[in-house]
Amino acid sequence: MREVPSGLVLHARLIWRRNRGQAGLFLLLLALLGLYAWLYPGLLSWAGVARFTQNWFPVALVAIAQTLVMLMGGIDLAIGATVSLGTVLAATLVGESALGAGLGIGATVAIGVVAGGLVGTIVALFGLPAIIVTLSSSFLIGGAALLVMARPGGSMPGWLSEGLVGVHPSALLILIVILIAWRVLRATPLGLAIDASGDNPSGAFRSGVNVALARIAAYAISGGLAAFAGVYVAAQTGAGDPLIGMPLTLQSITAAVLGGVGFLGGQGTIRGAVAGSLLLAVLVNVMFFLGLPPVAQYVMQGLIIVAAMGIKRLRERAG
């Protein structure tokens, strides 16, 4: 009689299937972290960890935001513009008091959620291509940022900037909280709907899942995360900037692809995207220490996307 595997064994097999494709990513990440630590020994200090995570944090946030949309088979080209809008709103709305700061941050994130939800509604209910809708939205959101603040300006409370980007790795703690929140969300009906809709939309629909609502929710959460990334960037710079978030759109896609997220939906994990964003941040820093020009970063990101997709296609054909 054939022995039935225990629940623990089945769970271990499921974890292995989800992570086996990311083994190379994590090995490469460990190797590059070792190289970076060798080039910059200060990385291993408390202050070094704090500085690195402060620069990595916005990229990690937009990578998570982009992954949520890509898992649903979409793409969000308005993430960078939403980050820019978040910076100018934060520099305008965040007050000096704790209450004023909380209300300003809450309002900024809420506006990002609404903007993302509206984009998701157009994509989900009208069936328009996400790449077209989000590209158009990037101009609209970017224009709104310029209306709020035509040039860099405004200010952030000094105590808030010190708390977020000071000598302590606050960014790392916030990122851990966000990842725990995602873990909790995945156990809720909404999280299950997002997972099911991304993996098999037709099957999820036949099972009674509101696929359109799940897609709207993914875009809304993505918008909120991008706006919060804008708040953090404003705290870093001490001011708002209506154009500062534009490079983050490409970085979010690059990090997601590095983390194994596919463009057709249902492939990849948030964990992988965070690892991809960390790998991207380490690569940029290593290139800086090797003396490569900034333009090389953009070339590298484009090559990464092409190479990652090419490797994935070759694996699929081989399998």
Closest CA to 300 of 315, 312, 288: 288
Residue 48, Cβ neighbours under 10 Å: how many?
15
Token pair for 209: 């899942």
Q: Which residue in the block uniquely carries the two structure tokens 């499921």?
A: 14
Tens of each residue's pLDDT in the chain, 319 residues: 445 454 455 445 545 555 555 666 778 788 888 888 888 888 888 888 888 899 999 999 999 999 999 988 889 999 999 999 999 999 999 988 999 999 999 999 999 999 999 999 999 988 889 999 999 999 999 999 999 999 998 899 989 988 888 788 889 999 999 999 998 988 888 888 887 777 677 777 777 888 889 999 999 999 999 999 999 999 999 999 999 999 999 889 988 888 888 777 767 788 889 988 998 888 888 888 877 787 777 787 777 777 766 766 676 666 5
What pLDDT score does 306 carry?
A: 75
What pLDDT score does 316 carry?
A: 61
Separation of alpha carbons 311 and 136, rounded Å: 31
Separation of alpha carbons 310 and 56, rounded Å: 26
Separation of alpha carbons 154 and 74, rounded Å: 34
Separation of alpha carbons 141 and 177, rounded Å: 28
Distance of CA 244 to the CA centre of its chain: 16
What pLDDT score does 68 carry?
A: 92
Separation of alpha carbons 56 and 78, rounded Å: 20
What pLDDT score does 315 carry?
A: 64
The angle formed by the CA atoms of residues 228, 230 and 233, to the nearest 5 degrees, is 115
Separation of alpha carbons 102 and 149, rounded Å: 21
Report yes or no: 33 and 52 within 8 Å, Cβ to Cβ.
no
**Spans of all domains in the chain:** 25-318
pTM: 0.88
Separation of alpha carbons 27 and 82, rounded Å: 33
Residue 192, Cβ neighbours under 10 Å: how many?
15
What phi and psi values does residue 171 have, to the nearest 5 degrees?
-60, -40
Query: DSSP secondary structure string, the chain?
Result: -PPPPPHHHHHHHHHHHHHGGGHHHHHHHHHHHHHHHHH-GGGGSHHHHHHHHHHHHHHHHHHHHHHHHHTTT---TTHHHHHHHHHHHHHHH--SSHHHHHHHHHHHHHHHHHHHHHHHHHHHHH---HHHHHHHHHHHHHHHHHHH-SSSB----HHHHHHHHSSS-HHHHHHHHHHHHHHHHHTSHHHHHHHHHHH-HHHHHHTT--HHHHHHHHHHHHHHHHHHHHHHHHHHHTSB-TTTTTHHHHHHHHHHHHTT--TTSS---HHHHHHHHHHHHHHHHHHHHTT--THHHHHHHHHHHHHHHHHHHHHHHH-
